[in-house]
Amino acid sequence: MALLCCTMLVLLYVFGSASATVLAGMDYGGVPLWINRLLGEPSVLSLQGRMDRAWFRTNNPQACPEQCDCPIQWPTALYCDHRVLADIPDSLPERTQYLFLQGNNISSLSSLFLANITGLRWLILDHNQLQSDTLDQSVLQNQTKLRYFFANHNHLRSVPSTLPAGLKQLRLSYNQISIISPGTFQKLHNLTLLLLQGNRLQTITERDLKGLVRMNLLDLSGNLFLSVPRHLPPSVQQLYLSNNALSGLDEESFQGFLQLKYLRLSHCGLKSHDIPPQAFNISSLVELDLSNNKLTTVPTVPTSLQYLYLEANEIQGFNVTSFCREVGPLSYSRMKILRLDGNKMTYQQLPPDWVFCLRVLESIYV
């Protein structure tokens, strides 16, 4: 027994120390994974380069497909990643809850492959060759336990339309998605994270994202939007729209987002005269990224704002009214970090009264 304990400790140590390097190779859409160890969720997303595969084969009595590894620490996890597999291995064990298939050459998903699995919680298919027309739309339909479905870096042209209602995270960044079928998210009341950056979306219609009542993080960066899309879920707290060629903002662009805290609009080609003074009147806002645009003045921002990134614009001057409509004992800007580097202004240009408004500033870069 003592010997077994030691072996387990050593194993955990090896796993823990190696995790950072392996995670760096795969970004899973750029948002780190929240792992609930109490639920038995595995804390590594790949076993590649960690350990001798033969060791598992000889030491784990459970059935395990030839193309996969089945670690004894996580009996419900199946690691079949980074093996250039063209197909999903046959007869996946029924116990499978965490299925890692990233970094393969899988182009199709048939509805049969999950036929015997009822408890699937994570399905990770990043960096494959998945295509919308060879993906059986009903493949995930009956997976009521599925919480995470990742298919970043594939060739999908549309969001799979039959997603299970219990899904919490859907990561589909860097595909070729131009279509969301209306009603796709109608029942996905528990979805909190949706990554669609690096796709080909041009517009969002009223029914496209309807139903996403708990949406927290929505990444729509790097698409083909020409204006801020309407009909986004009002519950969103983190909205990323960088790298879209936006022609401008209007007063209503961010109206109705009562919980919006983090807004990213860098590399959008925005000019100062295309931003009305009310555009960022969002009293919940904490962080605003407007870097790498074509702004010539500092936009008007709410006093709640703590982080403002304006680097790499063409800003020539600075007016305290952008941050404080009035200055008084209780009316001042909560700004902590202000970046103005890479603009057309110098520190000497800051007006003498700026310290009364930006009174809790920790860092300013000019």
Ligand X SMILES: *[C@@H]1O[C@H](CO)[C@@H](O)[C@H](O)[C@H]1NC(C)=O
Binding site for ligand X (CB under 6 A): 84, 86, 90-91, 105, 107, 111-113, 115-116, 138, 141-142, 165-166, 190, 278, 281, 319, 321, 325
Beta bridge partners of 238: 217, 262
For the residues of 309-336, what is the DSSP string, one character each?
E--SS------GGGT-SS-SSS------
Angstrom distance (rounded) from CA 315 to CA 298: 7
Residue number with CB closer to ligand X (19 or 304): 304
Closest separation in Å from C-beta 162 to ligand X: 9
Closest separation in Å from C-beta 165 to ligand X: 4
The residue among 272, 269, 273, 303 whose CA lies nearest residue 288 is 303
Residue 288 near residue 310 (C-beta atoms within 8 A): no
Closest separation in Å from C-beta 203 to ligand X: 27
Angstrom distance (rounded) from CA 263 to CA 243: 13
Beta bridge partners of 289: 264, 309
Measured between its terminal Cα atoms, the distance across the chain in Å is 62
Question: HSE-up of 34 (CA within 13 Å, CB side)?
Answer: 5
Closest separation in Å from C-beta 112 to ligand X: 5
Residue number with CB closer to ligand X (138 or 202): 138
What is the number of the residue whose Cβ is closest to ligand X? Answer: 166
Residue number with CB closer to ligand X (190 or 296): 190
Closest separation in Å from C-beta 191 to ligand X: 10
Angstrom distance (rounded) from CA 178 to CA 192: 21
| Helices then strands, each counted (H, E), the chain | 3, 13
Residue number with CB closer to ligand X (73 or 278): 278
Residue 209 near residue 231 (C-beta atoms within 8 A): yes
Closest separation in Å from C-beta 5 to ligand X: 35
Residue number with CB closer to ligand X (65 or 342): 65
Closest separation in Å from C-beta 15 to ligand X: 28
Angstrom distance (rounded) from CA 120 to CA 111: 14
Residue number with CB closer to ligand X (58 or 91): 91
Identity of residue 39: L
Residue number with CB closer to ligand X (5 or 330): 330
